[in-house]
């Protein structure tokens, strides 16, 4: 009988310990402060990670390539170039080799890229890069190193190739050619989102779109590759625009659930982007 009581006590103790561990794990899962914010693009069995600000810049570069009607290869080359030159950040300084280099692509005003203010504008800088890239004969079939070097004239031309796989994964997702391939894990917003800011961002990136604002949501009557391009652009910009949910083609990205793209409860082919409500 004593052995039975001891066994029961041990089982109960283990159950209490397990319950405590589960409770702590659940609290940690819900803790906003412990969320490591990042964006991940998947290509085949490989995944590639960027910080949220880097992913937002990659999304702008890719969206401008889409707006210009360029192939995803152009975006891959541009993203790899910007990653090597500035770590995909709009920096306002250069290096010893190019002290006047500025911006995402470290373009030099002294080399005819524009004024300092212009090359510090990511939209201008990206278009300036593509203006030169499209003049490179056969750039679509070149190695990324060759194509990037033909535009940049870098002192370290082989360095671009180390970013090729990452650039291809993000360009494919952000151009809409790889569906549900981009996911950002984020903390919940601290402030209300502004649907008009979402529309402005889409217009800057992709050009004018037919968008309808209803409450906290922006509806766009687009689908297919274009729909996925805008939807995954929205995920990449969810942190700065306080976006909490994106719906497209029967799939939903929900910021709070942090489980990537999932089947939608109310499937729709068009794109709906929802921003956060005012804090209560």
Confidence check: pLDDT of 64 > 60: yes
* pLDDT value of position 156: 73
pLDDT tens per residue, range 114-159: 999 999 999 999 999 999 999 999 999 999 999 999 999 876 778 8
Packing angle, helices 52-67 and 224-236, rounded to 10: 150
* pLDDT value of position 158: 82
Confidence check: pLDDT of 19 > 90: no
The secondary structure of residue 278, as a DSSP letter, is P
**From 15-19, 111-115, 230-234, the region with the lowest mean pLDDT:** 15-19
What average pLDDT does this structure show over 158-182?
Answer: 96
* pLDDT value of position 22: 47
**From 48-57, 144-153, 187-196, the region with the lowest mean pLDDT:** 144-153
Confidence check: pLDDT of 29 > 50: no
Neighbour count for residue 43 (Cβ, 10 Å): 17
**Please, are residues 207 and 193 in contact by the beta-carbon 8 Å criterion?**
no
Q: Where are the beta strands (DSSP E) in 72-210?
A: 182-185
pLDDT tens per residue, range 211-225: 999 999 999 999 999
Assign 143 to helix, strand or coil: coil
What average pLDDT does this structure show over 49-56?
Answer: 98
**From 1-5, 32-36, 191-195, 222-226, the region with the lowest mean pLDDT:** 1-5
Q: Angle at the Cα of 193 (from 189 to 197), degrees rounded to 5?
A: 135
* pLDDT value of position 13: 45
In the chain, domain spans: 41-174, 188-275
Q: What distance in Å separates the CA atoms of residue 8 and residue 262, rounded to the nearest whole number?
A: 43
Average pLDDT, the chain: 90
* pLDDT value of position 24: 37
* pLDDT value of position 8: 44
Neighbour count for residue 161 (Cβ, 10 Å): 15
Residues in contact with 34: Cβ distance below 8 Å, sequence separation at least 6, in sequence order: 28
* pLDDT value of position 23: 42
Residues in contact with 158: Cβ distance below 8 Å, sequence separation at least 6, in sequence order: 145
**From 8-12, 139-143, 199-203, 265-269, the region with the lowest mean pLDDT:** 8-12
Give the pTM.
0.87
* pLDDT value of position 268: 82
Handedness of CA 191, 194, 198, 204 (dihedral sign): negative
* pLDDT value of position 35: 73
Q: What distance in Å separates the CA atoms of residue 217 and residue 267, rounded to the nearest whole number?
A: 16
Token reading at 150: 């033909």
* pLDDT value of position 155: 66
**Please, are residues 46 and 158 in contact by the beta-carbon 8 Å criterion?**
no
What average pLDDT does this structure show over 154-175?
Answer: 91
Confidence check: pLDDT of 98 > 90: no
């Amino acid at each position: 009988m004593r052995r039975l009581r001891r066994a029961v006590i041990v089982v109960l103790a283990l159950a209490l310990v397990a319950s405590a561990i589960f409770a702590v794990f659940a609290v940690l899962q819900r803790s906003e402060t412990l969320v490591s914010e990042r964006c991940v693009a998947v290509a085949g069995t490989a995944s590639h990670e960027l910080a949220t600000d880097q992913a937002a810049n990659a999304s702008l570069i890719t969206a401008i390539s889409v707006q210009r009607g360029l192939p995803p290869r152009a975006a891959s080359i541009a993203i790899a170039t910007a990653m090597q030159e500035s770590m995909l950040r709009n920096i306002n300084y250069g290096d010893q080799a190019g002290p006047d280099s500025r911006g995402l692509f470290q373009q030099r005003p002294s080399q005819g890229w524009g004024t300092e203010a212009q090359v510090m504008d990511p939209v201008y800088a990206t278009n300036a890069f593509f203006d030169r890239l499209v003049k490179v004969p056969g750039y679509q079939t070149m190695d990324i190193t060759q194509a990037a070097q033909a535009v940049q004239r870098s002192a370290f031309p082989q360095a671009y190739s180390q970013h090729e796989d990452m650039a291809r994964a993000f360009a494919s997702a952000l151009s809409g050619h790889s569906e549900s391939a981009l996911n950002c894990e984020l903390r919940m917003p601290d402030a209300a989102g502004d649907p008009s800011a979402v529309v402005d961002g889409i217009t800057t990136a992709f050009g004018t779109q037919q968008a309808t604002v209803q409450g906290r949501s922006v509806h766009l009557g687009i689908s297919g590759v274009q729909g996925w391009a805008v939807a995954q652009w929205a995920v990449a910009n969810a942190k700065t625009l306080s976006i909490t949910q994106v719906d497209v083609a029967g799939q939903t990205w929900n910021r709070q659930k942090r489980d990537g793209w999932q089947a939608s409860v109310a499937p729709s082919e068009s794109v709906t982007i929802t921003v956060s409500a005012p804090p209560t």
